[in-house]
Structures are given as C-alpha cells and as structure tokens.
Amino acid sequence: MSSAREFGWEPLVGDYVLEHDGYLAGSDDHRLADLNRFSSDESIDAIWCIRGGYGALRLLHGIDYDAWRRRPKTLIGYSDITALHSAIGPRADLVTFHGPTARGTLTDFSRASFRAALIEREQSCGIAPDGVTLRGGRARGRLVGGNLALLASLCGTPYAPRYDGAILVVEDVNEAVYRLDRMFTQLRHAGALDRLAGIAFGRFTDIPVDEGYEARPLDSLLAEIAAEVGVPCLANIPLGHIADQWTVPLGAVAELDADTKTLNVLP
C-alpha cells in the first residue's frame, strides 16, 4: 500500500485479499467478487494488482466487462495478469498497463517509467539499455502481449489477443528453453506470429537447468524466431520478472526501431 500512497493514491484492499485455496489466492467466486466490485465502483479509478496472480485465467468467463465499458479504469499488473489484460482491454476498448505489482518496491528506473505511463501520460519506454538487435528495421503497431505461458494458454480461446499488425512484447520466468520453444511454436501454429509487425522480447529469467537434455542457448531460440517471422525484432528489453522494468501500455500504438534499440509509445 505504501507504493500507492507514494503517488498520492488511497488504496482500498479487497475483502478476500488474505484468502488462499491451495495454489490459488482464494476461491474463484471470491476473487471475482473483489474484482467485479472494484470495476463497478464509480469512486475507484484504478485496479493495481498486488501480485502476478496465478489463477487469473480461471476468472475470465465471470468478469463484468460491462462495468469496465461503463466506467473505464486503469488496470496495472504483469505475469499471470496477462490474462486480464488480454480479456479486458479489447472488450472495454481500453489501454491497460503491463507494469510492476503493488506489493513490490519500485526502483528508480521502474518508478520513472511507471510515473511517466500512469501519471504524466508521457513516454514510458524509450531506449532499451541492454537491447540486442535480432532483426533490424522499424515497425509500428498496437502493443500486445505479456507473459508467454499465458499467451500460449489463451490460444484458441475468445480471450486471445488480436495479433494482426501488432508489436508483441513478451517475457517469462522459470521456464526451460525447450518449454519456451514449445510455447512459441504454439503461437506460430495458431498463426499469431505470422501476423505481427514486430517483436520486442523481454527477459526470460531464472531458466532452470534441465540435465535430461543438451542445453540450447536462449539466444539461439530467439534468433530462430526472428528469422522465421521476418519482422523487426529486438531482444532484452526491460520487461519481465525483473526489478528495473518498463510500464508498457498494452493496446497503445508504438514504434519499434530494432536498429536503434528503441520502443517508443506514440501519442
């Protein structure tokens, strides 16, 4: 809550926030009750997720999308919150924000991007400090994406993002390279990668060592994808399960310049 108050916001915590049900943060009904109560409350301006939220995928059929359309709100979060971004944004014609969770401590880097995106409504991305050009060129399109595992899970459902002409931003954590390969292959078979204008790969962190397979470098996999899709591709942008991360407005139009290693959100 201290992060919210830092920006002059008064936090209101859900009734069921401390519940748990095994690996879930409470029952689906209770989590939906909190989410739908907040989305229909005229006095609430934003919903800032406390953590990544495994199980968000289970809620999509019960979300009150009419409430989001009647009273658009800011949605902030990442990781499994990708499911909410993908479902709510297009249905409410709303830009949502892939950014830090409310429980975390913001670094100077993350705070500056967060403030630019949410308060100043200015450029929140820009030059990727450690960016790597995989395929040069410039692309313009809507920003879509988030966590790769969630995007793969959304394939074939009504909640999958619209990839046509979009710039994909994507990250993941705790996934072996062969599993990342599998998930990207699923997106490719679903036709998602064929329709993109560009890709900005984020960080794929805490990759476990799988001693049962000969290791394949992540760089090799990403380079292969870049060659296959044939669009501008930039790797290693500050997006993912990392301390220094951009707040990325999903649904907004941006320009990716893989040669200058920049991702600029357009006004």
193 contact partners, CB below 8 Å, separation of at least 6: 163, 168, 184, 187, 199, 225, 228, 229
In 3D space, the residue among 161, 3, 171, 33 whose CA is nearest the CA of residue 89 turns out to be 161
Quote the percentage of the chain above a pLDDT of 90: 85
Mean pLDDT of 93-112: 95
Residue 212 has pLDDT above 80, yes or no: no
List the catalytic residue out of 79, 86, 113, 124.
Answer: 79
Reported as half-sphere exposure (CB side, CA atoms, 13 A), residue 63 has a value of 20
pLDDT at position 216 is 85
* 34-58 residue pLDDT tens: 999 999 999 999 999 998 878 999 9
pLDDT at position 112 is 98
* CA angle (194 as vertex; 93, 57 as ends), nearest 5: 50
In 3D space, the residue among 126, 193, 204, 127 whose CA is nearest the CA of residue 160 turns out to be 193
pLDDT band at 211 (very low <50, low <70, confident <90, very high): low
The residue type of 136 is G
List the catalytic residue out of 113, 124, 153, 241.
Answer: 241
Residue 214 has pLDDT above 70, yes or no: no
Average pLDDT value over all residues in the chain: 95
Could you confirm whether 20 is annotated as catalytic? no
The 3-class secondary structure across the chain, one letter per residue, is CHHHHHCCCCCCCCCCCCCCECCECCCHHHHHHHHHHHHHCCCCCEEECCCCCCCHHHHHHHCCHHHHHHCCCEEEECHHHHHHHHHHHHHHCCCEEECCCCCCCCCHHHHHHHHHHHCCCCCCCEECCCCEEEECCEEEEEEEEEEHHHHHHHCCCCCCCCCCCCEEEEEEECCCHHHHHHHHHHHHHCCCHHHCCEEEEEEEECCCCCCCCCCCCHHHHHHHHHHHHCCCEEECCCCCCCCCCCCEEECCEEEEECCCCEEEECC
Mean pLDDT of 98-115: 95
Taking the C-alpha atoms of residue 56 and residue 67, their distance in angstroms, rounded to an integer, is 18
* 129-139 residue pLDDT tens: 999 999 999 99
CATH number of 2-118: 3.40.50.10740
* 216-262 residue pLDDT tens: 899 999 999 999 999 999 999 999 999 999 999 999 999 999 999 99
* 2-40 residue pLDDT tens: 688 889 899 998 898 889 899 898 999 999 999 999 999
List where CATH 3.50.30.60 sits in the chain. 126-265
pLDDT at position 1 is 60
pLDDT at position 213 is 64
* 173-198 residue pLDDT tens: 999 999 999 999 999 999 999 999 99
Q: Which CATH number fits domain 126-265: 3.40.50.300, 3.50.50.60, 3.50.30.60, 2.60.40.680?
A: 3.50.30.60
Quote the percentage of the chain above a pLDDT of 70: 98
List where CATH 3.40.50.10740 sits in the chain. 2-118
pLDDT at position 51 is 84
List the catalytic residue out of 3, 86, 153, 171.
Answer: 171
pLDDT at position 173 is 97
